[in-house]
Structure 1
Amino acid sequence: MEKIPIGLNFFIPMPVVLVGTQVAGKANFMAVGWITRANGNPPMIACGISNNHYTVKGIGETKTFSVNIPSSDLLEKTDYCGIVSGEKTDKSQVFDLFYGSLKTAPMIRECPVTFECRLVQSVLLPTHTLFIGEIAGVYADGDVITDKKPDFPEIDPLFLTMPDNRYWTLGKYTGDAWSAGKNLIQR
């Protein structure tokens, strides 16, 4: 099929997380879709946050943040945290919070998986800052772990697609990574 130019749109499905931090000593959360693994050892996560967001101030103050993976039953609260600013709205009471060893990275008890991160580097870009954090702790509900591995259908994560601005859930299993293509290797 012939390819047609469609402009500079984002067509990468993005996992949706809630990034938490403290701003002026108060917990704050925002929905973030620009997130990825950044390093294997030590384990690191990178998230891109618009420079005008209130959360940027908190990460700069505390040098810590959390990454919370909401399940689909938290869709309404997740979207709420993406459409209201912590500068004008206190979001510290939206969730049941807990803290790990870092003490300044608020995590969400209702999320099946949470990470607390220590800021390693901030990369200032024209519209966003890319925050790279070393994972200092990972916490999960027991029912989303099978054979010591994450059970993604049980986690039931959310994904965001743009430019249609829609949320999705995980699809069906289709094959194993680093295995499905072995038949094509020339021997």
Structure 2
Amino acid sequence: MKVELGAKNCLYPLPITLVGSMVNGEANYSTIAHVGVMDLNTISISVSKHYYTSSGIKQHGCFSINIPSTDQVKETEYCGLVSGKKANKSELFENFYGKLAHAPMIQECPINMECKLTQTLDFPRHHVFIGEVVETYCNEQILINGRLDFTKVNPILFVMDNTGYWTLGEQFARAWNGETLTPTQ
């Protein structure tokens, strides 16, 4: 029997990211879990309009997505609770830059993507920034045969209902190879 929950978004868990932008000449990072895949090279992020990071993304037309691991939960939580207007959060990390001069990235994060802003959608409380991934960087130790191994990344996952952080489980089947074609009766 199904139970009605009301108009509830149940697309959780989502990976926690640290979104980077340059604001007033300094690298700034905000903790963002509302990220989406638009296509293979395009992503979206939903950022509150009052976040300090939003102004940097709009000003410079670029941003970074940094995927922290579970051992970075304290820094990640801090970046979500403390505004860049009040604290220089870039001092928490070793910052680096790639092809886009105003998209700071975090050396300690296992995966970093620098993105060129292609579109901004205006919602009542949030901007949805859509960006083209210009380059992706990763730590060498999370690769197996040239491919990312997300169990080695150990990303932080966020679930809204209980506002908790979760870890990634294990792979239970391969996608797109026909192993799962026969439905159960």
Q: Is the 8 A contact 1:9 1:163 kept in 2?
A: no
What TM-score, normalized by structure 2, do the two folds share? 0.94
Aligned residues: 181
Q: CA RMSD in A?
A: 1.1
- Determine whether 1:111 maps to 2:99: no
* Range moving further from structure 2, 169-178 or 18-27: 169-178
Shift of 1:70: 0.2
Shift of 1:181: 2.8
Matched with 1:151 is 149
Q: Which 5+ residue runs of structure 2 have no aligned equivalent?
A: none
Shift of 1:9: 3.5
Extract structure 1 runs of 4+ deviating beyond 4 A: none
Q: Which 5+ residue runs of structure 1 have no aligned equivalent?
A: none
Q: Deviations over 1:79-138 (max 9, x none)?
A: 100011111111120110000011110000000110001100001112211111111111
Q: Distance in 2 between matches of 1:129 and 1:6?
A: 27
What fraction of aligned residue pairs are identical, expressed as a percent?
A: 38
Matched with 2:127 is 129
Q: After the TM superposition, which residues 5-44 of structure 1 pair with which residues of structure 2 at under 5 Å, given as runs?
A: 5-11=4-10, 12-40=12-40, 43-44=41-42
What TM-score, normalized by structure 1, do the two folds share? 0.93
Q: Distance in 2 between matches of 1:170 and 1:148?
A: 21
SS in 1 for 2:72: helix
Q: Is the 8 A contact 1:9 1:162 kept in 2?
A: no
Question: What amino acid maps onto 1:89 in structure 2?
Answer: A
Shift of 1:180: 4.1
Shift of 1:6: 2.1
1:69 equivalent among 67, 92, 95: 67
